[in-house]
Structure formats: C-alpha cells, structure tokens
C-alpha cells in the first residue's frame, strides 16, 4: 500500500514540476511521458529509501 501511495504522490508532484519546468523551458508538455518518469523515479526513490532505512536499523 505504501508503494501505491508513493506512486500516486510521485505522479502528482511530477506533473506539477513537469508542467512548470516545461513552461519555463518553452518545450512541449507531454503528460504521459512525465507521468511514467515521475512514477519510475518516485518508486525507485521509495525502494532505495526503504532499503537504506532497514539496513541502518539493525541492532549491533
């Protein structure tokens, strides 16, 4: 469930950042392309963060 919510919020924030970025750069706005990349990057970040947090929590 946490990955589903992570993908949802990555999609929302990715679309906002992508829209603003394309407006500033003057490029063509492609919501589908931005959605795919936002979800991929967001989920990769969530998985890496989860693995780092689990590895740092081990008791010595």
Query: What's the pLDDT band for 36 if we cut at 50, 70, 90?
Result: very high
Q: Domain extents for the chain?
A: 2-52
Number of neighbouring beta carbons within 10 Å of residue 14: 21
Tell me which of 52 and 12 has the higher pLDDT.
Answer: 12
Mean pLDDT (the chain, rounded): 88
Predicted confidence band of residue 59 (pLDDT cuts 50, 70, 90) = low
Q: In this structure, are residues 52 and 32 in contact, taking their beta carbons and an 8 Å threshold?
A: no
In tens, the pLDDT along 2-30 reads 789 989 999 999 999 999 999 999 888 89
Tokens of 28: 């063509």
Structure tokens at 35: 């959605």
């Amino acid at each position: 469930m946490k990955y589903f919510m992570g993908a949802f919020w990555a999609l929302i924030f990715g679309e906002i950042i992508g829209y603003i970025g394309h407006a500033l750069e003057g490029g063509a706005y492609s919501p589908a392309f931005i959605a795919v990349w936002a979800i991929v990057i967001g989920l990769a970040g969530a998985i890496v963060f989860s693995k780092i947090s689990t590895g740092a929590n081990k008791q010595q």
